[in-house]
Structure 1
């Protein structure tokens, strides 16, 4: 079996977790929390970072800290993982969907512009599958219209735009450390903020709104979104090898790009001025009708794949009657190939040979 993903746990994860166990600091306090937050912020060049229990609550907490709620509109690409949309809905704000670009698969800035109304409060961009959005255009648009900018970087740790880490452009940004992410804590996430007051607000809200001056006193409705010290210990060990992990993933992508040449598909491509972290090595088939039969063939050979996300506006709980032809087309033709950092060249070749065998049959 060649899975679509598996984590790379080859560093000091066991050592650090055992330190947590030996010290008995296994919950949401302990030295690894602050160390992971500090070193993560330093690694990406962020001003402030706070750990949370997963990438979905990171999005909700970030928007809660910004004060988004009923009466506000947040523009978000329809082609994204559903958590981007669910968390907007959870704040009480209204979701406004935007179209994608055929070449990058990321959100169309011109389409965002066309959807701005007097109620628009924020724009959420998603760096899909590890490729940065056009951040010059996004930042300029948000400044022009005085809009808050949220970066969903769940899939894009280590991705760069003009040598700057994604997550450092927006008012807030969020990361996921689920088991299939570039670096993992098992379950976990991070909220990054430019403004110290927003950061402190996020820290207050993630910990039950506990008073800083009065014991067991909670001054507002808040949440328990905290990360455990054990998860932070794993995250710190992962962060220590981040450059190595990203280099391995980019090598896997290079092998795929070379081996897939000449097949009726195209690989999700790195754009000028960016560094694609290749969270997933994703391809777009020329013919949507071939995707499921190809996936079935690969599955029969022990090779796991995944389809691209379905447009969020087609799902029952957040459905609209709008049409987004580019997003729908990408969704129908795209798939993710095995993409983990320890995938060997021989395994990549095995995957591609089975793809060639399918198209040759």
Structure 2
């Protein structure tokens, strides 16, 4: 089986984790927690990083840090993994769904203004599969209507927009270190910001709003949350972070190879990289157009028979039972590409021969039609 996307563990992971085990610093307090936060902020060139137990908790933490809650609305893509949408509901707010762009699969910023009401408090751009949302226009709109911007960069570590790392352009950015992400800690996330007040507030909320009194007792002035990452996982994160530039370079090289191959296949639309952006290509994606002669699901079935793991695009969240009653605009592009999109094997360790195997299987389908 050629897997969709698996971890690449070949740096200092064993060394740093062993140090945690040798010194007994394995829980949520330890030097690697602090180091991971500092190194991550340094990599992104931002001021504050707050490590969390997963990407979902980092998104919820961002919403709570900004005081978003009951009666508020947050504009978000429907073409996304469900986490960002769920976190909006976790805090008592309502998601409002906006359509996506056909060429990059991300939020269509030109359709945001028509959805803004007096209840709108934030926009949550999801940089899906590593693609960058049009952040200049989005920030203009957010400023005009006095809205917060929370970047879901959980799939976009290493991606850039006009020289800035994704996740650092809005008020707050969020990342994930799940096992299939560019780097992994097994489970984990990070919330980042350049705003000092947000940084301190997020750290306070994520560590049970704990204040240690002079005698060592714990005092809690408000409700907090246990979103802390154990030191042993942070140690793995420090090691993985050291490999990010190399991993992004490999991912981009593989995407270029995929693109060159698929340019020759009628009915397969390769992924694009918009001008002024750098895509980390967390997952390499294609659209199976009608002229290809076989459906997206037929392609996935054939790939599976050949030992190739592929995955369809995310199903639109606005069509799922918990969110069918939520407000949204015209979702025609979201509905269309959700039926045509495929994510192909994208591991850092994938070889050119394996990419050729994927390509040839798809090309043979077209030749039989």
TM-score, with normalisation over the residues of structure 1? Answer: 0.98
Q: Residue 216 of structure 1 aligns with which residue? A: 218
Q: Which of the numbers 263, 267, 270 marks the counterpart of 1:261? A: 263
Deviation per CA, 1:92-121: give whole Å up to 9, x if none.
011111111112211111211111111111
Deviation per CA, 1:281-302: give whole Å up to 9, x if none.
0001103961111101110111
**Does residue 336 of the first structure (1) align with residue 343 of the second (2)?**
yes
Deviates more, 1:255-264 or 1:304-313: 255-264
Give the CA deviation at 1:219: 2.0
CA contact 2:77–2:100 (8 Å) conserved in 1: yes
Q: Distance in 1 between matches of 2:235 and 2:174?
A: 19
Q: Distance in 2 between matches of 1:131 and 1:96?
A: 21
Deviates more, 1:260-269 or 1:347-356: 260-269
Q: Distance in 1 between matches of 2:244 and 2:319?
A: 36
Deviates more, 1:138-147 or 1:150-159: 138-147
Q: Residue 194 of structure 2 aligns with which residue? A: 194
Deviates more, 1:195-204 or 1:319-328: 319-328
**Does residue 277 of the first structure (1) align with residue 280 of the second (2)?**
yes
Deviation per CA, 1:203-225: give whole Å up to 9, x if none.
11111121243623222222111
Q: Distance in 1 between matches of 2:44 and 2:218?
A: 35
Q: Which of the numbers 295, 301, 310 marks the counterpart of 1:296? A: 301
What SS class does the counterpart of residue 32 from structure 1 fall into? Answer: helix
Deviates more, 1:213-222 or 1:310-319: 213-222
CA 1:166 to 1:138, structure 2 compared with 1: closer, same or farther past 3 Å?
same
**Does residue 358 of the first structure (1) align with residue 361 of the second (2)?**
no
Q: Distance in 2 between matches of 1:46 and 1:166?
A: 11
Q: Distance in 2 between matches of 1:79 and 1:320?
A: 17
Give the CA deviation at 1:262: 2.1
Deviates more, 1:319-328 or 1:2-11: 319-328
Alignment of structure 1 residues 150-165 onto 2, 5 Å:
150-165=150-165
What SS class does the counterpart of residue 49 from structure 1 fall into? Answer: strand
Q: Distance in 2 between matches of 1:185 and 1:208?
A: 22
Q: Residue 13 of structure 1 aligns with which residue? A: 13
Deviates more, 1:202-211 or 1:181-190: 202-211
Q: Distance in 1 between matches of 2:101 and 2:247?
A: 28
Aligned residue-pair number: 361
What SS class does the counterpart of residue 343 from structure 1 fall into? Answer: coil
Q: Residue 174 of structure 2 aligns with which residue? A: 174
Q: Distance in 1 between matches of 2:137 and 2:4?
A: 33
What SS class does the counterpart of residue 173 from structure 2 fall into? Answer: strand
Give the CA deviation at 1:359: 1.8
Deviates more, 1:61-70 or 1:193-202: 193-202
CA contact 2:212–2:218 (8 Å) conserved in 1: no
Q: Which of the numbers 335, 348, 353 marks the counterpart of 2:355? A: 348
What SS class does the counterpart of residue 63 from structure 2 fall into? Answer: helix
Q: Distance in 2 between matches of 1:331 and 1:237?
A: 35
Deviation per CA, 1:233-272: give whole Å up to 9, x if none.
1111111111001001111111111111222211221110
Deviates more, 1:157-166 or 1:194-203: 194-203
**Does residue 227 of the first structure (1) align with residue 232 of the second (2)?**
no
Q: Distance in 1 between matches of 2:325 and 2:271?
A: 28
Q: Distance in 1 between matches of 2:102 and 2:256?
A: 21
Q: Residue 107 of structure 1 aligns with which residue? A: 107
Give the CA deviation at 1:194: 2.0
TM-score, with normalisation over the residues of structure 2? Answer: 0.95
Deviates more, 1:158-167 or 1:101-110: 101-110
